[in-house]
Amino acid sequence: MMSNDTYIYMDESSIHHLLKCKLCSKPFVDPVSTQNGERFCRSCISHILNRDHYADNEYQLSKMQTLTPVTETLVLEMLDSLLVQCKECEKINIPRGQLDEHKNKECLKATVLCQAADIKCSWVGTRESLKEHLNECKFEPLRSALEEIFNEHDQLKNRINIFEIQTNELMNKKNFDMNGTC
């Protein structure tokens, strides 16, 4: 799940208090439970425990180890179904659990790499400017030739590695033979 600074809840006031962290008053993100059943966002309780870290390292470590991830399907599904607005593109009514998919596949304001990044195009920009870049990209039209060059390069590197191994084995055998006959 993305951090909650990438989205805004559509109607946070209507979210039930049992789905909210007592420390930050926001709906849980990566919820954990303490031994006594209290629930918090992992980062909120970790921050509190780390803040008190100076008191006793062993005590704080044992406290961190007693935090258990919340795994109840109903709670997690309720959190995932909360409607949010993407802060980047301002699209509304996205279920929070689908925000990562939105960012990775459709958000026009999300930062993306050129599809030719695998063949060394260094362009980085927003998804909405990607199409324009692809019209000007110098790498994509060269894809087949560059892939062939890269494949040959990899094959040559593999052959060099094999030759180095064989050379080392021969050198070791020669040293063994020289030391064994003395």
Residue 62 has pLDDT above 90, yes or no: no
- What is the domain extent for residue 119? 110-182
Summarised one tens digit per residue, pLDDT across range 19-56 is 999 999 999 999 999 988 999 999 999 888 877 655 55
Regarding whether 101 and 165 lie in a shared domain, the answer is no
Regarding whether 27 and 89 lie in a shared domain, the answer is yes
Residue type, 66: T
Regarding whether 149 and 80 lie in a shared domain, the answer is no
Residue 4 has pLDDT above 90, yes or no: no
* 8-state DSSP, 20: B
Q: What is the mean pLDDT of the chain?
A: 89
Indicate the length of the chain as a whole number. 182
Contact 121, 140 (CB under 8 A): yes
pTM of full prediction above 0.85: no
Regarding whether 77 and 26 lie in a shared domain, the answer is yes
Among 109, 135, 165, which residue terminates a domain? 109
| Number of domains forming the structure of the chain | 2
